[in-house]
Amino acid sequence: MPMVKKVLVANRGEIALRIIRACRELGIQSVAVHSDVDAHALHVRFADEAICIGPADPTHSYLKIPSIIAAAEVTGADAIHPGYGFLAENAEFAEICEQCGLNFIGPKPRHMRDWGSKVEARELAESLGLPLMKGSGVLDTIDDALAAAEKVGYPVMLKASAGGGGRGMKVLRSADELRRAFPQAKREAEMSFKNGDLYCERYVEKPRHIEFQVLCDGRENVWVLGERECSIQRRHQKLIEEAPSAVISTEKRQAMVALIRKAMLETGYVSAGTLEFLLDEKGDLYFMEMNTRIQVEHPVTELVMGVDIVAEQLRIAAGEAVHIPDCALEPRGHALECRINAECPDTDVPWPGLITAYHPPGGAGVRIDEGIYAGWRVPKVYDSLLLKLITYGKDRPEAVNRMRRALGELVIEGIRTNAALHRRIMLDPDFIAAELSTRFMENLRAELKASGERLHVP
């Protein structure tokens, strides 16, 4: 593999800036691409070079493969890092990069395809010995769906095979509900993902969402960097992540590390990836999916494991072996991440606009991964994530206390953000006690509605 000298970052916002910083620390040149509305974004300002690739609509800029390839050729980049979202898990894009002599910083296209389809990923996981939730293959007809649901047992989760980011999922508790939902779910999957394949799994009422970070260099070095808990979600999208999970014992972690390491070795996986699991009420883990990219929540793993995952991705792409001390296999301390979004905290409605004032928190154990500044206008056409506020402590209580303090120091004016929601969560008794499930936000919203408590006062 060739040495990496100049990386084009095919993304925007905080993840683009995160990659640019890693490049600079390693002495690698960086190129930022941007749409016309992102011309004054931070990732554009701090990259060594920048080039406009189209208008605000991402289908004509960040998702337009010919424009990104052309930008790499014009600037002389020899590698492309896709970040997360946009083209990050697009196997065709990775193949085109290879065909054009560009080093794609991520897994091989075949791995992206193997794990990209939820149905095929289930089959692969089962063949590798990963624990699997009771479910089905692709459901072609309503009759197939009804037979599969009867075998799995209600309630079931109907899922789009090509879905992601929490989209394409429906909880169904009876055959009548399934009959009504199946045609609509198939149409939605075809419209959203250009793939109408559906399958079903047993639905767990109060699961915890646990995921394991992997890093593989293609030289039979596989590192499983512990687990993250991502149970606090709304509409299946994560809000708060932490590492390690308060309910995963050292013994269970070591057993899962061994199992996942063996699976990654068997598949020959390369670069960073995340295997996601549901933890049921009995404490059993079941494989859900694998994300073949860097995750939004990677900083919490970096803090407790002492590993720069993005820098390691760059080294792997340059053909280097991963060197991580054995002590990194066990987490040290605790880290939390709050996703600060441009949205009304009471309704989750996006709130783009001009940021008139911005003061990031600081002090011991505080990290900010950001893409904003005072005077910058938040576009309405992209994801509402503004920054990730991360805190680290010797244990979970210290990390939570630091997050409370950091959220109190955070100032963003001119737009609404969900910072008040995060402050409320940090005071919740269930959160403090680490009594979590993916139903946490649903229960909190019901509690806020019943009490009349408002998080944003007009």
Catalytic residues, which ones? 293
Which is nearest to 21 in space by CA: 81, 64, 106? Answer: 81
CA distance 368 to 426: 18
Contact 342, 352 (CB under 8 A): yes
Contact 6, 79 (CB under 8 A): yes
Q: Residue 434: what residue type?
A: A
Crossing angle (nearest 10°) for helices 65-75 and 91-99: 30
Burial class (CB in 10 A: 0-12, 13-18, 19+), 313: buried
Which is nearest to 304 in space by CA: 370, 371, 390? Answer: 390
Going by the DSSP 8-state scheme, the letter that residue 237 receives in this structure is E
Q: Residue 254: what residue type?
A: Q
Residues 6+ apart with CB under 8 A from 2: 78, 103, 318, 319
Contact 32, 9 (CB under 8 A): yes
Residue 270 CA from chain centroid, whole number: 18
CA distance 209 to 38: 34
Give me the phi and psi of 160, to 5 degrees please.
Answer: -85, 130
CA distance 425 to 443: 12
Count other Cβ atoms within 10 Å, centred on residue 190.
14
DSSP strand pairing (366-370 vs 385-393): antiparallel
DSSP SS3 for 456: coil
CA distance 324 to 169: 38
CA distances from 82 to 86, 268, 358 (A): 8, 21, 28
CA distance 244 to 258: 17
89 is written with which tokens? 């898990």
Going by the DSSP 8-state scheme, the letter that residue 85 receives in this structure is S
Going by the DSSP 8-state scheme, the letter that residue 203 receives in this structure is P
CA distances from 65 to 93, 108, 164, 369 (A): 7, 17, 20, 27
305 is written with which tokens? 């494991």
